[in-house]
Amino acid sequence: MTASDKRKAEQQENRQKRENAILDCAYQLFSSQGIENTPITDIAQKAEIGVASLYRYFETKEEIAVRCGVIAWEKQKNLFINRFKGDVYNSKTGLAQIEILLNLFIDLYRTQKQFFVYIYEFDLYARRKNLTPKRLQAYERAITNIQSVAIAAIQKAYIDKSISETLINTMTEEELYISITQPLFCLVQKLSISNTFLEMDSHTPGEKELEFFISLLRKALR
């Protein structure tokens, strides 16, 4: 590597570090204040960088929001993959693998509430700004990477017939995946955002609500 190449590599590495720092600050602010309510000046201040300098890394707040969303989903993908691999996991029935997916939502509720709050904020922001599918391609790919891992468990359940025959005969693997994960995701998101917003919510711990709903899903799958 020439001195010029080395210098370029160092510059690229420093730029990546600065971008990551800005995105981390933006993610924290977007999650706590809302994307719409967070001006670029707040992000620059938290990242300890001038506004003009920030715009040298990102052209718009929309770009920052999308990049934050991609990173957030990629982190969740790593959590999913760690649960959905290994000889012990592969030896389980399809139903047992699906139950691991269900239990994962409990762990996510315990440890990843900020993620669910951010995704809620991002969905609202994307709709208000009418972000096009093209602008959201990277974001969608990050979500699809997780879906493929979970759908594989459902496909195995269809093959080994470890779930209800009625479900196998009336729903596709993709339909069952959506029917399981969308309500779960929405419930965890709601609990993460507003479990203590109203006094009546505080009477029932969110984790118990989630466990009860998952128990119903388990019965429906058998």
pLDDT band at 202 (very low <50, low <70, confident <90, very high): low
pLDDT band at 14 (very low <50, low <70, confident <90, very high): confident
Q: Measuring CA to CA, how many Å separate 53 from each of 18, 19, 41, 48, 145?
A: 11, 11, 11, 10, 33
- Check whether domain 61-221 has CATH 1.10.357, yes or no: yes
Question: Residue 196 pLDDT > 80, yes or no?
Answer: no
Q: Where are the domains of the chain?
A: 1-59, 61-221
pLDDT average, residue stretch 192-219: 76
Q: What would the pLDDT profile of 71-123 be if each residue is shown by its tens digit?
A: 999 888 887 777 788 889 899 999 999 999 899 899 989 999 999 999 999 99
pLDDT band at 204 (very low <50, low <70, confident <90, very high): low
Contact 102, 214 (CB under 8 A): yes
Distance in angstroms (rounded) separating the CA atoms of residues 95 and 111? 25
Distance in angstroms (rounded) separating the CA atoms of residues 176 and 183? 11
DSSP state letter for 20: H
Q: What would the pLDDT profile of 31-77 be if each residue is shown by its tens digit?
A: 999 999 999 999 999 999 999 999 999 999 999 999 999 999 988 88
Q: What is the pLDDT of residue 126?
A: 93
Q: CA angle at residue 148 from 97 to 207, to 5 degrees?
A: 50
Q: What is the pLDDT of residue 169?
A: 94
Phi-psi map region of 205: left, alpha, beta (phi>0 left; psi -120 to 50 alpha): beta
Q: What would the pLDDT profile of 127-172 be if each residue is shown by its tens digit?
A: 999 999 988 998 888 888 778 888 999 999 999 999 999 999 999 9
Q: CA angle at residue 141 from 136 to 142, to 5 degrees?
A: 100
Q: What is the pLDDT of residue 78?
A: 80
Q: What is the pLDDT of residue 30?
A: 95
Give CATH for domain 1-59.
1.10.10.60
pLDDT band at 125 (very low <50, low <70, confident <90, very high): very high
